[in-house]
Homo-oligomer: A and B are copies of this chain.
Amino acid sequence: MKKIEAIIKPFKLEEVKDSLGEIGIEGMTVSEVKGFGRQKGHTEIYRGSEYTVDFLPKIKLELVVADGQAEGAVAAIVKSAKTGKIGDGKVFVSTIEQAVRIRTEEKGEAAV
């Protein structure tokens, strides 16, 4: 199985979720993160002192899929998360050795 981690712009979440749904992927875990990269941060002002905030709000998506689904999932994410502007984010793929569904104790691809 593969684990796909995607860092995306927050307002793209619904779209990405829907496009994953279209290819039959309906399990994922989402967290709020802060990203640091080429996209420049913003300036905040506090009583006249400006300071730069480098970390921007991003959403991290984690989904574990069967090996065969991985490519399709990555493509779906890339397509739906793209705005073409800097800061769109990244997708990372790695290997998962075992998966267990807690409720049923099913293992492997049956579990994801």
Which of A's residues lie within 8 Å of B, judged by CB?
2-3, 6-8, 17, 26-38, 54-55, 58, 60, 64, 74, 77-78, 81-103, 105, 111-112
Contact = CB atoms under 8 A, between A and B. Distances in A.
Contact of A94 (B78, B83, B94): B94
A29 B103 contact: no
B85 A100 contact: no
A85 B74 CA distance: 30
Given A30-B55, A33-B29, A99 B91 contact: yes
B101 A92 contact: no
B31 A36 contact: no
B27 A36 contact: yes
